[in-house]
Amino acid sequence: MTLVRTSLLNAIAVMVRMLTMLGLNKLLAVYVGPGGYAVIGQFQNAVTMILSFASGAISTGVTKYTAEHGDDETAQHKVWASAARISLYCSLATSAVIAVFHQQLAVLLLKNAQYGSVFLWLAASLVLFVLNTLLLAILNGKKAVAAYVGANIATSIVTLLATWWLASVWGLYGALVALAVNQSFVAIITLVLCLRSKWFSLGMLFAKADRDMLRKLGAYALMAIVTATVVPLSQMLIRNQLVQDFGWQQAGYWQAVTRISDIYLMLITTTLTVYYLPRLAEIKAAAELKKEIARVYRFVLPLTALGAVMVYLLRDLMLWLVFTEEFRPMLQLLAWQLVGDFIKIGSWVLGFVMLGRALTTPYVITEIVFSLSLVALTYLLTPAFGLQGAVIAFCINYVLYWACIAWILKKYAYR
């Protein structure tokens, strides 16, 4: 599967997801406003962290080792059975913890005990949530792009419909419940797509786990847990600081501009996940690795630059289409955010190499260091530049990250 062909197939899912996200953002803008938008961002970060622990944080490892053993189905089955065992135990344990401490989590993360039942909904749906994550990782590793695209389209549509229904009835509370349960419904669809493939059966997930594979997946779990913990946690710390200094309304503007980045960069980030990560797992020689990185750069950097320019030029149309006039102050943050997006994508192309080559120690260290530095830069710059300091910090932090990753790969991966 070539990069261009994968991108074209993936573009179908991306277009559907972009359209549904446009509709979703408009719904949230109307029903919850900027303040509620910030609360939703806080909950999304919490779900990301919780899902990482609940799944055992092994989805990246499943993708890598499924792709790496592309010609050995027996080895692939060991990967899936081992991953399923980890996911089942971790999801049940995490669900129990959430159920017991749901009120405390609501106060700690959302600053409102009334949202405690939202975490109960999350606990009840977590096993299916994790199953969906595991099956998507398997499809990605098998390069079953059509099924992967179908599952992502289903996710987009279910999320939009669930959020529209629940937010229209219960406002912000309904939107939070929708985020808590949507992927549990999609898991059934993803399972059906997997079962239609000749290479998969449900019994493979219940086979005996392989001790060596459990150890290998554990190495990836460490990297994934760090990413899924420190990155959302840094976002939550930044949002808390913005709320403390400027209020929920202003924090909502910052959340909205980051969501714009998520939407227009979707084609690039999903292509890196669907094509680039499995491809890195296949590459053995340093010369071939350098060639692949250069090829990906030639594809993603011009596309990122074009997307950023188009978003900036059409910013007023975007505001009308995706949000409401109440969100207009967010446009003051857009220029720095778009520059930071370009730098972020450039650094991610190299950062994915550490995942694909299982460079655990440097990956963990850089994720922790640069998540902390983003928080520190935000705390440092917002008193001087106001809310704009948060996006300036984002830009500066990724410049430093890109330079650091380039040095690490030169030292460890290009030999």
* pLDDT at 330 exceeding the cut of 70: yes
Percent of the chain clearing pLDDT 90 (strictly above): 54
383 vs 286, higher pLDDT: 383
Res 227: pLDDT:
73
pLDDT of 3 reads 56
| Residue closest to 336 by CA, chosen among 402, 397, 270, 247 | 397
Dump pLDDT digits (tens) for 253-280. 999 999 999 888 887 887 787 778 778 8
Residue 51 is predicted with a pLDDT of 86
What integer is the mean pLDDT of 171-197? 91
Q: Give the pLDDT band of residue 10 (cuts 50, 70, 90).
A: low
The answer on pLDDT for 324 being more than 70 is: yes
pLDDT in tens, 129-174: 999 999 999 998 888 878 888 888 888 888 899 999 999 999 999 9
**What local confidence, expressed as pLDDT, does residue 413 receive?**
59
pLDDT above 70 (res 2): no
pLDDT bracket for residue 1 (50, 70, 90): low
pLDDT at 152: 82
Quick one: average pLDDT of 343-352? 94
> CB-side exposure of 19: number of CA atoms within 13 Å?
11
Structural domain boundaries enclosing 100: 3-412
Rounded Cα distance between 253 and 250, Å, is: 5
Categorize the per-residue pLDDT at 289 as very low, low, confident or very high, splitting at 50, 70 and 90.
Answer: confident
3-class DSSP state of 112: coil
Class of residue 120 by CB neighbours under 10 A (exposed 0-12, middle 13-18, buried 19+): middle
User: pLDDT at position 246, please?
Assistant: 93
Name the one residue in this structure whose structure tokens are 């409401």.
324
H or E, element range at 325: none
Give the per-residue SS3 of 340-382: HHHHHHHHHHHHHHHHHCCCHHHHHHHHHHHHHHHHHHHHHHH
Task: Say if residues 397 and 358 touch (Cβ distance below 8 Å).
Answer: no
The CA distance from 157 to 162, in Å, is 9
Mean of the per-residue pLDDT values of the chain: 89
Q: Does residue 56 have a pLDDT over 70?
A: no
Is 10 in contact with 145 (CB distance < 8 Å)? yes
User: How many C-beta atoms lie closer than 10 Å to residue 397's C-beta?
Assistant: 24
User: Which pTM does this prediction carry?
Assistant: 0.81
Phi, psi of 276 (to 5 degrees): -70, -45
Mean pLDDT within 401-410: 93
Please tell me the predicted confidence (pLDDT) of residue 382.
97
Q: Which pLDDT score, from 0 to 100, does residue 415 have?
A: 60
Domain count, the chain: 1
Q: Is the pLDDT of residue 350 over 70?
A: yes
